[in-house]
């Protein structure tokens, strides 16, 4: 079962349900186990580069560290909390420390699930699946698809405009005011070029018989198989098993608006 071949809509539903289930719990063990199991699933059932994964995961790791650090520095101290360290205005309690770790691990767990979807899903297949399984309007889906295809063209167009400016003597700028003027000089031709491309694409699609009708045939059919539902069960089982293990260890706690 390769995650890259799963139905994108069912995969998105699986990730969404898993995140909603995880958000119910607020203890350190449940998100930690879920994070570990999600990473194991990602690299066992998907063709994902570890270097790319760690590069995309790093910002979330930094964000989790900031959350933990800020929660430790500015904790909510309730009567009866066990103080483990105190210095001037900083008071660290056992309950606050557990809440901070739980918050950081929740961020990492959500990030690992999101990366599982992002790194194993083709955007074009996802849009085709949304049209075929979720009845998304073809007008919206093909507009997004066309915009996605335009991104590399915009980069090439920007390089051409910048080279043209340099040939005419409008080279590099130093001051902030000149940089703002330069952005304006680049933005207007890019916008005009984008509008022209969009008009030509719309005319071409209409000339080929595109009407936006939902009852249409697709050049690529995205189907749903038993493996897709198996993935849904697997990801939900990950959260349930993590919560059950946390309960057995005596750490399980539900979210009660602690933040």
Summarised one tens digit per residue, pLDDT across range 43-63 is 988 888 899 999 999 999 999
Mean pLDDT of 171-188: 78
Distance CA 44, CA 42 (A): 6
- The answer to whether residue 258 scores a pLDDT higher than 70 is no
- Pick the closest to residue 216 from 130, 133, 132 (CA basis): 132
- The answer to whether residue 215 scores a pLDDT higher than 80 is no
Find where tokens 């210095």 sit.
Answer: 87
The whole-number pLDDT of residue 154 equals 82
The whole-number pLDDT of residue 47 equals 85
The whole-number pLDDT of residue 179 equals 78
The partner residues of 25 in beta bridges, in order of sequence, read 254
Summarised one tens digit per residue, pLDDT across range 73-115 is 776 767 777 777 777 777 777 777 888 888 889 999 999 999 9
- Count of Cβ atoms closer than 10 Å to residue 70 Cβ: 12
- The answer to whether residue 128 scores a pLDDT higher than 80 is yes
Mean pLDDT of 36-47: 91
Share of the chain above pLDDT 90, in %: 29
> Rounded mean pLDDT of the chain?
85
The two structure tokens encoding residue 6: 């799963």
Distance CA 166, CA 180 (A): 16
The whole-number pLDDT of residue 88 equals 72
The answer to whether the beta carbons of residues 17 and 236 sit under 8 Å apart is yes
């Amino acid at each position: 079962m390769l995650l890259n071949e799963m139905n994108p809509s069912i995969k998105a539903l699986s990730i969404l349900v898993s995140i909603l289930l995880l958000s119910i719990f607020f203890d350190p063990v449940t998100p930690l186990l879920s994070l570990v199991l999600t990473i194991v699933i990602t690299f066992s059932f998907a063709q994902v580069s570890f270097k790319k994964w760690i590069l995309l995961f790093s910002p979330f790791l930094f964000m989790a560290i900031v959350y933990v650090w800020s929660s430790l520095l500015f904790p909510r101290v309730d009567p009866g909390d066990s103080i483990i360290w105190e210095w001037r205005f900083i008071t660290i309690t056992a309950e606050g420390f557990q809440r901070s770790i739980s918050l950081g691990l929740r961020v990492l767990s959500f990030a690992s699930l999101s990366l599982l979807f992002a790194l194993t899903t083709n955007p074009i297949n996802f849009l085709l699946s949304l049209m075929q399984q979720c009845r998304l309007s073809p007008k919206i889906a093909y507009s997004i698809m066309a915009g996605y295809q335009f991104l590399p063209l915009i980069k090439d167009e920007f390089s051409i405009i910048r080279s043209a400016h340099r040939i005419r003597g409008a080279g590099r700028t130093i001051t902030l005011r000149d940089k703002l003027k330069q952005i304006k000089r680049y933005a207007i031709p890019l916008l005009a070029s984008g509008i022209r491309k969009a008009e030509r694409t719309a005319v071409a699609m209409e000339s080929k018989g595109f009407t936006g009708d939902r009852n249409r045939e697709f050049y690529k059919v995205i189907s749903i198989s038993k493996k897709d539902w198996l993935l849904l069960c697997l990801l939900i089982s990950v959260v349930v098993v993590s919560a059950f293990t946390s309960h057995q260890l005596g750490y399980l706690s539900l979210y009660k608006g602690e933040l």
